[in-house]
Amino acid sequence: MPSESEVGDVAADLMPELTVVADHGGEPARPYFVAIGMAGVPESEGYVSEPQEPLSISELDMLPVVSETLTPGRAEARSLELPAGTTPFFLVGDDDLSLKWLEQRGDILRSMYAVGLVVNVQGAEGMERLRNAAPGLELRPVAGDDLAGRVGLSHYPVLITATRIEQ
């Protein structure tokens, strides 16, 4: 039985030679053909990426966050069916109602290890205000429109657990 390399060599011999239709400069595509497998390009000619400096993205790069479908206001408590073990999380924004809610519910949120999604905030100052109102809680700026649509929300602040949405 022939080895894999012999099969690859035979397959490469059976493949027609690649014809250049047009060459406008740039980077040759030949090294990328290794990924196709049967393109008749030896693995030694495959693409090898150059090491690059990892991108450094900070929270400031995510601001401002504007959730078009979510506003501060009253939300009705109701049951919910999320997968068991879902980490409790809450939605807040940089507004007076959310700041007051965080101050009142901070101990409960900390005891649940709830994670905060800040769905409306203009800048770093707003994030700082929220963090000062909720020391020890993890707060992340995140657009909340998709989530709001999935769970049927239009107002925050709310706490969402695997079984319930409540204010």
Together in a domain, 32 and 111: no
In-domain check, residue 161: yes
Together in a domain, 25 and 64: no
More confident site: 161 or 52: 161
Q: Where are the alpha helices (DSSP H) in the chain?
A: 4-14, 96-111, 124-133, 145-151
In-domain check, residue 50: no
What is the predicted pLDDT for the residue at 1? 60
Together in a domain, 9 and 85: no
Question: What residue numbers bound the domain in which 103 lies?
Answer: 59-166
What global pTM score does this model have?
A: 0.68
Together in a domain, 28 and 97: no
Q: Looking at the 3D structure of the chain, how many domains does it have?
A: 2
127 and 141 Cβ atoms separated by less than 8 Å: yes
What is the predicted pLDDT for the residue at 31? 61
In-domain check, residue 16: yes
Joined tokens for residue 87: 């980490």
**What are the pLDDT digits (tens) for 21-56?**
777 777 666 666 656 665 666 666 655 667 778 788
Together in a domain, 63 and 111: yes
More confident site: 36 or 105: 105
In-domain check, residue 51: no
Flag whether pLDDT at 5 surpasses 70.
no
Together in a domain, 37 and 81: no
Question: What's the average model confidence in pLDDT over 129-147?
Answer: 97
Sign of CA dihedral 29, 32, 36, 41: positive
Q: How confident is the model at residue 95 (pLDDT cuts 50, 70, 90)?
A: very high
Together in a domain, 88 and 140: yes
> By CB neighbour count within 10 A (0-12 exposed, 13-18 middle, 19+ buried), where does 126 fall?
buried
**Residue from 112, 92, 65 nearest 153 by CA:** 92
What is the predicted pLDDT for the residue at 40? 66
Together in a domain, 65 and 38: no
Flag whether pLDDT at 9 surpasses 90.
no
